[in-house]
Amino acid sequence: MTRRGEVLVALLNNRADWTIAYEQHWYRIPVTSVEKFLKSRWPPEWLAFYQTRVFGHEKYAVNYCARVLRIELCDRTQLFPQERPNAKSYKRYYKLTLSPLEKLPQAIVSLRQRRITFTATTLNKLMTATEINDLYDDSPLEDQVWRALKQLHIHAERQERIIVKEKIYFLDFAIYCVQGNINVETDGDRWHSQPQQIPQDNVRHNDLGTQGWRTLRFNTAQVREQMGEYCIPTVIENIERLGGLSQSSN
């Protein structure tokens, strides 16, 4: 993997973990989370922190980062030797030893105050982002769509987590409207042309449809060659048909 200053944005949702990161300079990540969500972007060179509502004026934003100095496997008992034995005592973690936390030049905010877990990005995006959706680094195709939407002030949430019938779906771009919602998918042609993927796509489309999501799909050629002539006008037309952007999206 080509290293580009790999950054992992992690969640801080309590002050105890903040104290550990800020004063003791380490952070823990369950091994299961790395295997499930982060395998292709592991290990990170930097760690950044998304703080939740318990952090007052710094809530729902990425404000701090640190360089990852060392990574080691540990049991919870090694991380917290004073903790009484419990069901998690022998849970396995990666312990990331960090440099002192540095405050970012500008806070990277979540406009919809969403909750995120782990997000892989690059140091360049971390240093230039102004909101959470600028950080996502899944594909150049999605970045192109995001730039076009942002230029026209069409707010969308990237990789929005939606639960339907106990199934979890991550939407490329979730656009919230007054009379419904739009799911914009940028299909990678090679992946979605595979026969075994078609039934899964149909289930996904139907599940989201039952929850009021209108799905718009654009392939690689459309994104690269017809962004202004077809993709964006189609998105705008559907936003207008659904009563415009919801107030919380503006």
pLDDT at 220: 94
This prediction has a pTM of: 0.89
8 Å CB contact between 39 and 2: no
Q: How many CB atoms lie within 10 A of CB 148?
A: 16
Q: Output the CA–CA distances (angstroms, integers) from residue 98 to 19, 44, 120, 174, in the order listed.
A: 13, 11, 17, 34
Query: For tokens 């771009």, what's the residue?
Result: 173
8 Å CB contact between 162 and 171: yes
8 Å CB contact between 16 and 37: no
The three-state secondary structure class of 189 is helix
Residue span(s) of the chain under CATH 3.40.960.10 come to 140-249
Q: What is the pLDDT along the chain (250 residues), one digit of tens a residue?
A: 455 699 999 999 999 999 999 999 999 999 999 998 888 899 999 999 999 999 999 999 999 999 999 999 999 999 999 999 999 899 999 999 999 999 999 999 999 999 888 999 999 999 999 999 999 998 999 999 999 999 999 999 999 999 988 899 999 999 999 999 999 999 765 544 555 666 677 888 898 988 989 999 999 999 999 999 999 999 999 999 999 999 865 5
Find the radius of gyration of the CA atoms of the chain: 20
8 Å CB contact between 8 and 47: yes
Specify the CATH number of the domain 140-249.
3.40.960.10
pLDDT at 199: 63
Residue span(s) of the chain under CATH 2.30.130 come to 6-134
pLDDT at 1: 42
Query: What is the rounded distance in angstroms from the CA atom of residue 233 to the CA atom of residue 148?
Result: 11
Contact residues for 81 (Cβ-Cβ < 8 A; gap 6+) = none
The three-state secondary structure class of 34 is helix
pLDDT at 37: 84
Query: What is the rounded distance in angstroms from the CA atom of residue 60 to the CA atom of residue 97?
Result: 24
Q: Can you list the alpha helix ranges (DSSP code H) found in 87-245?
A: 123-128, 140-151, 189-192, 197-210, 220-225, 232-241
Contact residues for 4 (Cβ-Cβ < 8 A; gap 6+) = 122, 123, 124
Specify the CATH number of the domain 6-134.
2.30.130
DSSP annotation of 131: B
pLDDT at 202: 83
